[in-house]
Amino acid sequence: MKAIFEVADENGEEGGWELEDLELPPELDTPNSYLPELKEKLNAGYKATTTGKLTKALRIFHSILHTIPLVLVESRKEEVNEIKKLIIIVKEYVLGLQMELKRREIKDDDTTRQQELAAYFTHCNLQTPHLRLALLSAMSVCYKANNLATASSFATRFLETNPTVESHVKAASKVIHAAECNMTDETKLKYDFRNPFVICGATYVPIYMGEKYVSCPYCTARFVPSQEGNICTVCDLEVIGADAS
């Protein structure tokens, strides 16, 4: 199966998603209550993600997290809650993009880690069009590594989003059919989609329900306990495990 992502071209420019017909509307699910500057940045981050400019998207989302503490909002509960929601939205994109960029850096001989990072990306809370991109990527990576059972799980989740691009629907259906004939995985991954988990923002490993964790008091990213006392690697602003102010 053809790879979902393109690598950087000869000029060093970041390649885009190798998928057609996935342009997003410029105002994708952006609440009107966000301050104009933040709303503009959020839309720019969405657009960069759509076009596969992930380094640029990550830079934009980081800038939102760094701008919010400097923005004055009225003390109305509604506005405060909207800003808190925005922090959560952006945190999910930063974490997901960091993992995807890390995956691209991994050499081809470590297909296990490539699959794990692709899998974790699909569990970030993304807009549906971006979730589809992550699911197609994970499906492709696992299919190429002969982890048909896991690839099939991503294909199934992809179809559950009611995609409209026929070629993508056919590709997902093909993976599911192949897995039905051989529902096995060639390599064991540190990934269990049946058991709810969050992803450590520093080590990129799953923290399953019931396991201990520490959090960033600003962006709420979660980490394995050994990361306590370090600077948050998601927002780069707060100390992991510190008390919220």
Q: Which domain holds residue 100?
A: 36-141
Nearest to 118 by CA among 190, 170, 176, 215: 190
When divided into structural domains, the chain yields a total of 2
Tell me: do 46 and 116 sit in the same domain. yes
Residue 220 near residue 88, CB atoms below 8 Å: yes
207 and 133 housed in the same domain: no
133 and 203, same domain (yes or no) = no
Residue 157 lies in a domain: no
Q: What does the pLDDT read at residue 7?
A: 34
One pLDDT digit (tens) per residue for the chain, 245 residues: 444 433 333 344 465 555 544 444 444 455 555 677 898 999 999 999 999 999 999 999 999 999 998 876 666 677 788 889 999 999 999 999 999 999 999 988 899 999 999 999 999 999 999 999 999 999 999 999 999 999 999 999 999 999 999 999 999 999 999 999 989 999 999 999 899 999 999 999 999 999 999 999 999 999 999 999 999 999 999 999 998 76
CA distance to 9, 29, 53, 56, 100, per residue, from 13 (Å): 6, 28, 9, 11, 16
Last residue of a domain, one of 96, 115, 141: 141
pTM of the entire predicted model? 0.87
Q: How many residues does the chain have?
A: 245
Domain closes at, from 141, 168, 186: 141
Q: What is the pLDDT of residue 77?
A: 74
In a domain, 67, yes or no: yes
Of 95, 121, 141, the residue at which a domain comes to its end is 141
